[in-house]
Each structure stands twice: as C-alpha cells, then as structure tokens.
Amino acid sequence: MQLKQAVERAYERFVEHEVPSPRLNAEQLVLFVLGREHAYLYAHPEHEFAADEVARYEEIVAQRERGCPTQYITGHQEFWGLDLLVSPAVLIPRPETEHVVETVLDLVLDSYKENPRNIRIVDVGTGSGCIALALSSEMPKAEIHGCDISDEALEMARINAARLALGQRVLFRKSDLLGIYGDMKFDFVVSNPPYVGEDEADKVQRQVKEYEPKVAVFSGKQGMDIYRRLIPQVKEALNSGGWFVTEIGFSTEAQVKDLLKGWVEVRTTADLQGIPRVVAARKA
C-alpha cells in the first residue's frame, strides 16, 4: 500500500463511520503511523508501507473509526502554541478555551500593569495544565497554581510543565476545588470546570461521552453543580478587586451570572462562533 492509497482508504472508512473532518483525520493519522510531517504527504505520495506500518495503520484507523479521538491516538494537542501531551485521563484542550487565557491577559494589562510580578493565579480543574501553562508562558513573573481532583490529570499536567520547561513556575496540587489552599488569597481564579448536565448527555458528541473523563465533562443534572460550589469559594479566595474568569457552557450564561450577584464588572466574551464562552467578574 502506498501513502496516497492509505490516506484515501482511511478517508473512505472515516466517511462511512461519520468521523468528523474525515480527510484531515486520515492525513494526520497516516502521517502519525509513518512518524512524518505534513509536507511528506506531497513529497512522497508513493511511499510504500512496510508490513509493520500496515499493521499499525490498520490498528489506528480502526481505533478512530470506533470514535477514539485523534489526540488520544497521537498523544498530542496544541494549545496556545504549546505542544501538550494528552491521554484519556485528561480532557483534550479545546481552541475555545484559549479565550479564557486571552481574557486573563487582557485583564492583567488593564488592572495590574504597574506590578505584574506580584500576581497570584490559580487554575481550578487544570486537567492537562493547558490554561495554567499558557498563562505561565506569557507571564513569567506571576505565581501560578493549578489544581485538580484527578491524580492522573495532575500527573499529565506536571509532565507537560516539565516538557515545556515551566515546571519550576507552576505548582500543581491535588484539591477538591479550592479546598487545599486554605487562607491563601489570589488575584485571579480561572477555571474551565465540568459544565455539561447529565440530562444533556445524549446531545454530547459520542467521542466526548465515550472517551473523555466523565469527571471532566459532567457536573450534576443540569451542569451547574460545580459552579454552585466553586463561586462562593472563589469569593472567599480572591483579594478584593481580584477576578474570577471561567469558561461557560452553551446554555449556562444566565445561571452562572445569577450566581455572581453582588460581584462587579461582570462581563461575557463570545467565541469565534459568537457563542457566549467566558464570563469574568470582579470581587468588589
């Protein structure tokens, strides 16, 4: 089998199995089997697969057909220009979540430009560490913490920090929400918490439901359980004038804002599709 045939066959199988972006997936996975970059596809379409490459190809295409996300097969996902390792222990970082990072950076510029070195930030439910690591890559002087309830996720976050040479700058700890931090005060609490309702499980993509960790996706019947516990804790943990920045679900903006009564400068940022995606609120 030649490279171009391998891509065509994978493409056809992905179309048949309704895999999203079938051509992109076919190309990415075939190149992953060969350990090659994208340009190889055009430079060597006639590359003849060795027997072990054919076997690996069959295994990987079958995995993807069954719904396993490409990122769990390749073990990588880019976020904020950083190459992150991912496994089924962590949510695959989504491009929309970069709006959380953007929002924090904008607020830092607005509110803290005189003294950025003293900013202390915590990322609650850090997963792969994507938000904490992106912020650390942009703000070398900030003190950044990340926490998660999952030991496996924390292990992945620490591996990512070490690979990106950010291991000395971000401190990852196991915690149920902000529990471990006691009286410590923060200038920013940021989070992309689980926010899908168990009642909405049938609307969730199959690959999310079957492959991504449930603790990373679901939050009670209507998706609000974590916000309900987290927001009062955040209010306690923030310095006055500090910011809470959180990703929100498709239909949770009004309910999250309800929980932020008494906060000031509550604002929403939409993603590139115009969907409300990030809520920021300041503690008076």
Ligand X SMILES: C[S@@+](CC[C@H](N)C(=O)[O-])C[C@H]1O[C@@H](n2cnc3c(N)ncnc32)[C@H](O)[C@@H]1O
Residues in contact with ligand X by the rule CB under 6 A = 91, 93, 97, 124-128, 130-131, 147-150, 153, 175-177, 192-194, 215-216, 226
| Least distance to ligand X, CB of residue 137, Å | 15
Strand pairing category for 238-247 and 143-148: unpaired
Distance in Å, CB of 14 to ligand X, minimum: 25
Nearest distance, CB of residue 43 and ligand X, angstroms: 34
Q: Which of 1/184 has CB closer to ligand X?
A: 184
Q: Under a CB-based contact definition with an 8 Å cutoff, are residues 100 and 123 in contact?
A: no
97 versus 207: smaller Cβ distance to ligand X: 97
Q: Which is nearer to ligand X, 61 or 86 (CB)?
A: 86
DSSP string, 87-100: -TTSPPPPGGGHHH
Residue type, 1: M
CB nearer ligand X, residue 91 or residue 166: 91
User: With contact defined as beta carbons under 8 Å apart, do 21 and 15 qualify?
Assistant: no
Q: Please, what is the minimum distance in Å from the beta carbon of residue 211 to ligand X?
A: 14
Cβ–Cβ under 8 Å, residues 217 and 225: no
Strand (E) positions, the chain? 76-79, 82-85, 120-124, 143-148, 170-174, 186-191, 238-247, 264-270, 276-282
- What CA–CA distances, in Å, run from 238 to 123, 138, 190, 241? 13, 21, 11, 8
Write down the least CB distance from residue 21 to ligand X, Å: 20
